[in-house]
Structure 1
Amino acid sequence: MPLLRPLFLAAALSLLVPTVQARDSGSASAVVASIKPIHSLVAGVMEGVGEPALIVEGAGSPHTYRMKPSEAEALQSADIVFWAGAYLETFLVKPLATLGAQAKSVELVDAPGVDKLSLREGGPFEADAHEDESASEAAHEDEQFDTHVWLDPVNAKAMVGAIETALTSADPAHAEIYAANADKLEARLDGLIAEVEADLAGVRGRPFIVFHDAYQYFERRFAIPAAGSITVSPETPPGARRVAALQAKVKAVGATCVFAEPQFEPALVDVIIEGTDAKAGVLDPEGAALKDGPELYFELIGNLAASLKDCLSSEN
């Protein structure tokens, strides 16, 4: 039964989109994932068959990412590309539109069973100033939803199902492995939900503010809502008037904690909480500080819970 078409890349590109050797075959295939949480789920389904390549590595953010020419060229050699979606990863819209006829693009925000939430803007939640709004609007003019869908493990289970379906369609020879891996992942995700619910039981109801409004899927799943966001452009430090307004917001909601993110300057949060009773913490919605691979997703969700618990339960 056929595997995905062979991948032949120049040596300069071999590290970016590695050749994937099937376990029982000399054939090669190319599977690419956009960001770390997506890559982790794909890697889990592919375990024992091969490893997907990752586009946005390290602490890169899909909101501000700009593809290098070598990355764009390598992407054209992919057989399957798994990504969150056009509204989040605007940098991929044009490159994916030019993929070869035999290549498949899988937009996981549209996976069957994924529950999408509307954006929260106005009041205590401010628009994501670091997003390329014009590009986002052009990509998905009518789809004004929160794209951080992976932060609900129930959505992650739905994405695992879509990943299994796509891989099995392209590589039916390994259908049983993909199915077994998907079943294992879904069971682990159920266990993860139970663990996080227990971890957060003692800190629910304590107000906190996030750097940007990326967490409502996690908040809703685990009944721990944020009181607002402090989004400012990471390229432009806020002036004194802006800092004063953000400090007033922290005081107005009685925030116990204000959370930074690894991709952005943490010193900004220290300035904002100065003169308030709030403490500073860090939330990492994309696994920027984590090692790529099938365990990353579980570490990401577990770390969010641990960061919230540690900061919200500490004495002021």
Structure 2
Amino acid sequence: MRQDRIALAAIAVVIPLAMVATIYTGSQPQGQTGTPAKNKLRVVTSFYPLYDFASHIAGNRANVSSLIPPGIEPHEWEPTLNDVRRVGDADILIINGAGFEGWSRGIGAKTLVNTTEGLDLTQNGGQDHTTGVNPHIWLDPIFAKHQVDMMRAAFARADPANADYYDENAKKFSAELDALDSSIRQDLISCKKSDFISFHDAFKWFAQRYGLVQHSIQGISPEGEILPQKIQETVNLARSLGLKVIYSENLVDSRLSDVIASEIPGAKVLVLSPIEGISNTEKANGIGYIEKMKENVASLKEGLECTQ
């Protein structure tokens, strides 16, 4: 390996891509009438996948927004004073939990919903002994159903007059998640390989659910410096496993993945999104969690050399 290229990649800090920083906000579908705006439940979610889930449950009976704007990598994000005020004004703050939102402690939410509560994330390799429990449960559709149910229950408690409405919406979206789970299993049934190299350790639960083996360039967070030894180890691993795809992400600079792929004959870089945020363009085009998961499966099928 050319040491100068490795050293250059090693000292480069992964930089989140600059994108327009506007707030995800819920909107009432055209032609629908619901609870008057001043009486609607006010729900703030920490970041994109929870916003997507909560919006499906809320329909036109609650206002849902996300604290972390589009295009912002959420692992190291910290709230501003304005964000703290927004949380204080909201009826519910929904977080992922499992240590993902360290800033949520003491933020002053009226009701805090931890969507990983009730899950044992220390079993079957869920515990990372360096940085703690792996929080990326939303990438497992079955765990995502648990998150949806936690939200549904919180909505119903806060707004009992619309409890049946929230229950029905949650039921419909959970059925979509079941269908997604079934389609993923079908899509991956013909794959020649089971190993893949993600950019950061976001796909532990996804891999465990579908019988795959995730290796990652970075740890639980995609940000930080990578040592030359780690780059060389990743190159050697990809060569030994016969992998021709190195995955990057949509919210980080792809140069590190590019350098690794350049050292592997015939390799290329594809995006495998942890779905920690989407762009304004994607949102405007109606692309959400389900669609992003399907895009991920398409990328994985190429790297895993699936025949279907």
Please confirm whether the aligned pair reaches a TM-score higher than 0.5, indicating the same fold. yes
Deviation at 1:225, TM superposition (A): 2.1
Counterpart for residue 68 of structure 1: 80
Q: Does 1:282 align with 2:252?
A: no
Deviation at 1:255, TM superposition (A): 2.5
Q: Does 1:92 align with 2:79?
A: no
**Secondary structure, aligned partner of 2:89:** coil
Question: Is contact 1:115-1:155 (8 Å) kept?
Answer: no
In structure 2, list runs of 5 or more residues that go unmatched.
Answer: 1-21
Counterpart for residue 301 of structure 1: 293
Q: Does 1:199 align with 2:195?
A: no
In structure 1, list runs of 5 or more residues that go unmatched.
Answer: 1-14, 128-132, 134-143
Matches within 5 A, 1:18-37: 23-25=34-36, 26-37=38-49
**Secondary structure, aligned partner of 1:166:** helix
Matches within 5 A, 1:143-292: 144-203=132-191, 205-226=193-214, 228-231=215-218, 238=226, 240-277=228-265, 278-290=267-279, 291-292=282-283
Q: Does 1:108 align with 2:134?
A: no
**Secondary structure, aligned partner of 2:247:** strand
Counterpart for residue 303 of structure 2: 311
The residue identity in structure 1 corresponding to 2:112 is S
TM-score, length basis structure 1 = 0.76
Q: How far apart, in 2, do the equivalents of 1:145 and 1:192 lie?
A: 25
Question: Is contact 1:207-1:256 (8 Å) kept?
Answer: no
Q: Indicate how the Cα distance of structure 1 residues 153 and 198 shifts in structure 2: closer, same or farther if over 3 A, else same.
A: same
Count of paired positions: 274
Deviation at 1:40, TM superposition (A): 0.8
Question: Is contact 1:151-1:215 (8 Å) kept?
Answer: yes
Deviation at 1:285, TM superposition (A): 0.9
Q: How far apart, in 2, do the equivalents of 1:189 and 1:204 lie?
A: 26
**Secondary structure, aligned partner of 2:94:** strand
- Segment drifting more, 76-85 vs 286-295: 286-295
Higher relative contact order (Cα pairs below 8 Å, separated by 6+ residues): 2
Deviation at 1:42, TM superposition (A): 0.7
Question: Is contact 2:23-2:69 (8 Å) kept?
Answer: no
Q: Indicate how the Cα distance of structure 1 residues 203 and 279 shifts in structure 2: closer, same or farther if over 3 A, else same.
A: farther
Q: Identity over the aligned pairs, expressed in percent?
A: 26
Q: Indicate how the Cα distance of structure 1 residues 170 and 120 shifts in structure 2: closer, same or farther if over 3 A, else same.
A: closer
The residue identity in structure 1 corresponding to 2:99 is Y
Deviation at 1:236, TM superposition (A): 5.4
Alignment root-mean-square deviation, CA? 3.0
